Amino acid sequence: MIKVLIADDHKMFRQGLRLLFEMEPDIKIIGEARDGLEAHEMAEALQPDVILMDINMPVIDGVEATRRILKEQPDAGIIILTMFREDEHVFQAIKAGAHGYVLKDADSNEVTKAIRAVAAGESVLDTAMTGKVFNQFKLMSEMVEKNNAEGLTERELEILALIAQGSSNREIGDRLFLSEKTIKNYITSIFQKLQTNDRTQAAVYALQRGLIQK
């Protein structure tokens, strides 16, 4: 029996999925979460095999809920529910470890097939999304290799790129789900490693050395 947790802030949508799965002999709904925080708490309490995770939810969204759940339960299978295949949030959730996504207007057979696939340890991605994820991780890997001399971590490179875009500490923190204090600590470390004194110097140095992309 595949234990499934549904996380979506629309009650009628959750009820529709529950009715759908009641017809499947190998799928059991063990809980319904109304927001991302509740999804995280219920996942910890109920230990589902598969979580159907809506992207846009109150309190915390599906991307952050995915990160928190997989940090504690790396074997949990998370399927993102979305209206749009190319939603940037879907990409971020997959980077965070989600096993794939299902469009909200998909037919019932597609949804149940996705649940069974993820429960079996497979991923549910189309060619376009697979290529996008592969290219992103390839770029990240190349950037890390290029910057071994500076000793920057992947997170520091990510923050450095946002600095170069003109983002404030608060904006960077909101983007990466980190506190401003944590961002300040990262930036101090970046300045020390690059031997620069301010954000502008660090951004110019990084662009000149090819540490980040324009």
pLDDT higher than 60, residue 144: no
Is residue 197 in some structural domain?
yes
- Using a pLDDT cut of 90, give the percent of the chain over it: 50
Using one digit for the tens of pLDDT, what is the confidence trace for 102-126?
888 888 898 999 999 999 988 887 6
- pTM here? 0.63
Are 16 and 54 contacting, i.e. CB atoms less than 8 angstroms apart? no
Where does residue 126 rank: exposed (0-12), middle (13-18), buried (19+ CB within 10 A)? Answer: exposed
Instruction: Kindly give the residue spans of alpha helices, DSSP state H, lying in 147-179.
Output: 154-164, 169-176
From 45, 44, 49, 61, select the one nearest 9 (Cα to Cα). Answer: 61
Is residue 140 in some structural domain?
no
Domain carrying residue 161: 147-209
Q: What total of structural domains would you count in the chain?
A: 2
Are 49 and 6 contacting, i.e. CB atoms less than 8 angstroms apart? no
In degrees rounded to 5, what are phi and psi of residue 70? Answer: -70, -25
Q: What is the pLDDT of residue 38?
A: 97
> From the CA atom positions of the chain, what is the Rg in Å?
20
Using one digit for the tens of pLDDT, what is the confidence trace for 155-207?
898 999 999 888 899 999 999 999 999 999 999 999 988 888 888 888 888 88
pLDDT higher than 90, residue 78: yes
Are 101 and 128 contacting, i.e. CB atoms less than 8 angstroms apart? no
- Domain containing 105 — which CATH number? 3.40.50.2300
118 lies in the same domain as 175 = no
Is residue 28 in some structural domain?
yes
Distance separating alpha carbons of residues 42 and 177, to the nearest angstrom: 21
